[in-house]
């Protein structure tokens, strides 16, 4: 269970206390504030705080005194222009702070995004909970035969049952050993900072993660993409849904130019031009490698 009844009560209490403010408020984001959005079997993301809204991007771009312009269409047009031309610093004026509960192996991928601020639950100071990510049967897949970094067909029958059993058994065994080493019952008890090294990577950790909107978009582009591993992608998708409600105009531009758009190499542009002129072009006379051609054909057919 991602949250205990006490934690849910704390969240509801926090949501019940409102303060008048002169700061920019995004109605879409207010609806998410503090609430936990469940991810995987025990994880969640919840927005703890945010700064700025769509107007703050426009305001920073114009270095103006007020909040954007009076014309929403003008603001949206400017945001689209900024996104189209990689004018990134106005997007850095908005920030989001999240509380995330995630398996350690997902945290290892996530922490590679260096342009954020992180504070993680200390397993030197505290004892980790007995919570492990066990994939749902529809995610228990074999190694992909075409992508070295991906998964292919689902495991089935006795193999699927055996793998699930192994994952559960090993997690339980490691946690039992962790508790036994920590125990001070009739022994000194191993330090928490050492006992934790026996725990598997599917144990859950938690952190606060703060990032500006420009770098959040970079994170989402990489991790909400279908090439990203499912277990981090579902977190990115949950954050993307909140971001869409927070800064709808900026998110729409991001979806259009980054998630839905693509960049073309000079060679790819040349092939497209030749095709538009009616020429049949193959990989051999495209100047592209086989890998480049495969990716080109994935997008352009």
Ligand X SMILES: Cc1cc2nc3c(=O)[nH]c(=O)nc-3n(C[C@H](O)[C@H](O)[C@H](O)COP(=O)(O)OP(=O)(O)OC[C@H]3O[C@@H](n4cnc5c(N)ncnc54)[C@H](O)[C@@H]3O)c2cc1C
Strand 36-39 and strand 43-51: the pairing is antiparallel
| Shortest Å, Cβ 113 to ligand X | 4
Task: For ligand X, give the closer residue by CB, 132 or 217.
Answer: 217
Task: For ligand X, give the closer residue by CB, 20 or 260.
Answer: 260
Query: CA-to-CA distance for 195 and 124, rounded, in angstroms?
Result: 9
Compute the C-alpha angle 118/119/125, nearest 5°.
155
- Interface residues with ligand X (CB under 6 A) are 112-115, 149, 215, 218, 222, 227-228
Task: For ligand X, give the closer residue by CB, 41 or 92.
Answer: 92
Task: For ligand X, give the closer residue by CB, 132 or 209.
Answer: 209
Q: How are the residues of the chain apportioned to helix, strand and coil, as percentages rounded to the nearest 5? A: 50, 15, 35
Could you tell me the two tokens for 153? 């067909």
Q: CA separation (Å) from 11 to 19, 102, 217, 251?
A: 16, 19, 27, 27
Per the annotation, the verdict on 233 as an active-site residue is no
Question: Helices 54-62 and 72-84 sit at what angle, rounded to 10 degrees?
Answer: 70
| Shortest Å, Cβ 109 to ligand X | 7
List the catalytic residue out of 8, 23, 46, 223: 223
Q: Quick one: CA torsion of 164, 168, 169, 170, rounded to 10 degrees? A: 100
| Shortest Å, Cβ 291 to ligand X | 15
Could you tell me the two tokens for 123? 């397993």
**Residue in the block written with tokens 């997008």:** 299
Task: For ligand X, give the closer residue by CB, 1 or 146.
Answer: 146
DSSP 8-state secondary structure symbol assigned to residue 121: P
- Catalytic residue list: 223
């Amino acid at each position: 269970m991602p949250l205990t009844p006490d934690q849910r009560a704390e969240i509801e209490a926090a949501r019940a206390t409102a303060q008048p403010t002169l700061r920019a408020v995004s109605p879409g984001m207010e609806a998410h504030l503090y609430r936990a959005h469940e991810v995987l079997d025990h994880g969640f993301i919840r927005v703890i705080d945010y700064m700025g809204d769509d107007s703050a991007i426009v305001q920073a771009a114009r270095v103006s005194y007020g909040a954007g312009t009076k014309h929403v269409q003008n603001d949206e047009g400017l945001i689209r222009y900024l996104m189209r031309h990689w004018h990134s610093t106005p997007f850095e004026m908005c920030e989001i702070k999240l509380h995330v509960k995630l398996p350690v192996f997902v945290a290892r991928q996530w922490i590679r995004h260096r342009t954020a601020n992180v504070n993680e639950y200390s397993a030197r100071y505290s004892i980790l909970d007995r919570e492990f990510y066990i994939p749902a049967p529809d995610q228990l897949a074999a190694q992909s035969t075409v992508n070295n970094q991906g998964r292919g067909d689902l495991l089935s029958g006795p193999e699927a049952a055996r793998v699930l059993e192994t994952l559960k058994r090993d997690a339980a065994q490691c946690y039992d050993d962790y508790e036994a080493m920590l125990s001070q019952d009739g022994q000194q008890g191993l330090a928490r900072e050492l006992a934790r090294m026996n725990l598997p990577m599917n144990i859950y950790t938690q952190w606060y993660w703060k990032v500006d909107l420009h770098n959040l978009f970079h994170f989402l582009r990489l991790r909400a993409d279908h090439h990203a591993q499912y277990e981090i992608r579902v977190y990115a998708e949950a954050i993307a849904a909140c971001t869409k409600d927070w800064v709808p105009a900026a998110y729409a531009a991001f979806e259009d130019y980054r998630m839905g758009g693509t960049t073309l190499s000079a060679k790819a542009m040349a092939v497209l031009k030749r095709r538009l002129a009616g020429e049949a072009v193959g990989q051999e006379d495209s100047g592209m490698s086989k890998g480049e051609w495969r990716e080109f054909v994935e997008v352009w057919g």
